[in-house]
Amino acid sequence: MQCKAKSVHCHPLLFGATLLHQINTNILNIKIMNKFTVKDGTEIYFKDLGNGQPIFFHHGWPLSSDDWDAQMMFFLEKGFRVIAHDRRGHGRSTQTFLGNDMNTYAADVAELVEFLDLKNVIHVGHSTGGGEAIRYAVKYGKDRVAKVVLVSAITPYMIADENNPNGVPLSVFDDIRYNTQHNRAQFYQDITIPFFGYNREGVVIKKGIQDNWWRQGMMGGIKAQYDCIQVFSETDFTEDLKSVTIPVLVLHGDDDQIVPYETTAVKAAELLQNGKLIIYPGFSHGMPTTEAATINKDILEFINA
């Protein structure tokens, strides 16, 4: 590198100090911004708080790491290190055009886990994040993953076909696709009603919870969220569930109007070699938020078992 003859920065000591300052500033900015760039150039936003055994949280569609606030605070106070990321195309991560598929999601997690050098990790996934957690554990988690928790998860797979006759019809997902593409802002308000069971008699509707769901959804990119509908509805995790040998806890509400428990949680537990199933009477798909006290307690017991 050359510099002007009369520039003060030409002095070797001053130039070295300036360069060191720039390096330290860049490192500090990475720490503050909490963004990590994966191999294809996508920036992944993440949160990393505390010390102790790591718990890595995987969020559902079309949300972000903010959806884990109740869990991150609870486990942080219990002495765990808590990590959550915004999946590519979601939240504060890059609004990706390509790579919106489950294998890439899992690969992104693998890069982030390696970057943070996380070991003996508990991976907790909600809805789409449950699929991401189990796919990551099987493909990349050897010697790094201790246990997995599937909360209202899409596993083994949701869509109705000849092997899954009681699954969700394709027309339902086509409707989600249409509304996401053509009326996302209104649809993301409307879907909170069944998501949190706010259409059930006697349930107290909390507008703040609805607004927070809508806020998270609208932060993400429409193309990535549109692509993710096929990912969460049609990805088959049967072989992932069969092959994983570590302990897996499966949590689901029997009033889940988004991901029916009979074709997901019950079947997932049957496929697992070392699984435990808990079905909660009356709990909705959004139970990590609405029933956080119960969910957190059961996850903690599973971790400590």
Say whether pLDDT at 18 is over 60: no
Mean predicted lDDT score pLDDT of the chain: 92
pTM, rounded to two decimals: 0.89
What whole-number percentage of the chain has pLDDT above 70?
Answer: 89
Q: What is the pLDDT of residue 20?
A: 53
In 196-249, which ranges are continuous DSSP H helix?
207-219, 222-234, 238-243
| pLDDT confidence bin for 1, thresholds 50/70/90 | very low
Domain ranges of the chain: 1-33, 36-304
Q: How many Cβ atoms sit within 10 Å of the Cβ of residue 219?
A: 17
Structure tokens that stand for 57 in this block:
């949280």
| CA atoms within 13 Å, Cβ hemisphere of 100 | 23
pLDDT confidence tier of residue 9, bands split at 50, 70 and 90: very low
* pLDDT value of position 48: 98
Q: Per the omega criterion (within 30 degrees of 0), is the bond before 62 cis?
A: yes
> Is residue 302 predicted with pLDDT exceeding 60?
yes
The residues facing 83 across adjacent strands are 48, 56
Question: What integer pLDDT is reported at residue 163 of this predicted model?
Answer: 87
Distances (CA, A) of 43 to 104, 106, 142: 13, 15, 25
Q: pLDDT-based confidence at 7, cuts 50/70/90? A: very low
**Mean pLDDT for the stretch of residues 35-45:** 97
* pLDDT score, position 11: 54
Q: Among all residues, which ones are annotated catalytic?
A: 127, 256, 285
Least confident residue range of 2-6, 83-87, 131-135, 146-150 = 2-6
pLDDT digits (tens, 9 = 90+) for 169-219: 999 999 999 999 999 999 999 999 999 999 999 999 999 999 999 999 999
Q: With contact defined as beta carbons under 8 Å apart, do 197 and 203 qualify?
A: yes
Average pLDDT rounded to a whole number, residues 145-170:
96
Element (H, E) at 194: helix 192-195
Buried b / exposed e along 19-37 (16+ C-beta atoms within 10 A):
eeeeeeeeeeeeeeebbbe
List, as own/partner pairs, every contact residues 226-230 make where C-beta atoms lie below 8 angstroms and the sequence separation is at least 24, other chains included: 226/177, 226/180, 226/181, 227/89, 227/100, 227/101, 228/61, 228/62, 228/87, 228/89, 228/90, 228/100, 228/128, 229/61, 229/173, 229/176, 229/177, 229/180, 230/173
Largest CA distance in the chain: 79
Instruction: Determine the pLDDT at residue 33.
Output: 59
CATH number, span 36-304: 3.40.50.1820
Q: Which whole number is the average pLDDT over 280-293?
A: 98
The string of pLDDT tens digits covering residues 235-244 is 999 999 999 9
